[in-house]
Amino acid sequence: MNRGDVGKGTAYALCRVPVGWVGLVAREGTLVELLLRGNRADAEEEIAERHPNAVPGAGGVLDAAAEQLEEYFAGERRSFDLPLDLARLSPFARQVSLALANVPYGETVAYGKLASLAGRPGAARAVGRVMAANPYPLAIPCHRVMGAGGKLTGYSAGEGIATKAWLLDFERKGGA
């Protein structure tokens, strides 16, 4: 049974990546969440808390997401092409996410600049809150957002700042 896309059920899959574990959660052919955590137990626990009716699944968007993650960490993919449930985001969070999607692989953007790109100059702190709540780290590359002056700040996925630094270094080296 292809639980990744069947009916209104929610399915999940776990993937090991170089910076920890990714929990993928799908419903009706759409990725509803991508969790990046430092270990498998944390990923499983968060899925159980946030999606108590989710069942292990495979196929459809879950397999596509797992394949794209594998390609990304092999240095073969620079952006993700997945059906994300952006309707669950506020209009501002959608604007910020779409603006961030245009920041190229290996490059960074300051919170203030991203606020301007999203049409809200001066809303750097609000952008920070959007990034902290990003349901799709990696796919919406919040690790590319930096503090003023290029300062490495805030990252709630994986093991925090260490994961952000690893991802930025990985991308700067071209995924090698």
Please name each of the domains of the chain with its CATH number. 10-73 (3.30.160), 86-172 (1.10.10.10)
The residue-averaged pLDDT of 40-61 equals 95
Neighbour count for residue 124 (Cβ, 10 Å): 18
**Among candidate residues 105, 69, 104, 99, the one with its CA nearest the CA of residue 86:** 99
pLDDT class for 156, splitting at 50, 70, 90? confident
Q: What pLDDT, on the 0 to 100 scale, is given for residue 152?
A: 84
The residue-averaged pLDDT of 50-62 equals 94
Q: Is 173 helix (H, G, I), strand (E, B) or coil?
A: coil
For the cut 90, the answer to whether the pLDDT of residue 154 exceeds it is: no
The tens digit of pLDDT for each residue in 102-147 reads 999 999 999 999 999 999 999 999 999 999 999 999 999 999 999 9
Active site residue 142: yes
The tens digit of pLDDT for each residue in 2-24 reads 334 344 689 999 999 999 999 99
Q: How far is the CA of 150 from the CAs of 102, 109, 113, in angstroms? A: 18, 8, 11
Q: What pLDDT, on the 0 to 100 scale, is given for residue 167?
A: 96
Catalytic residue among 65, 138, 142, 167: 142
Q: What pLDDT, on the 0 to 100 scale, is given for residue 172?
A: 93
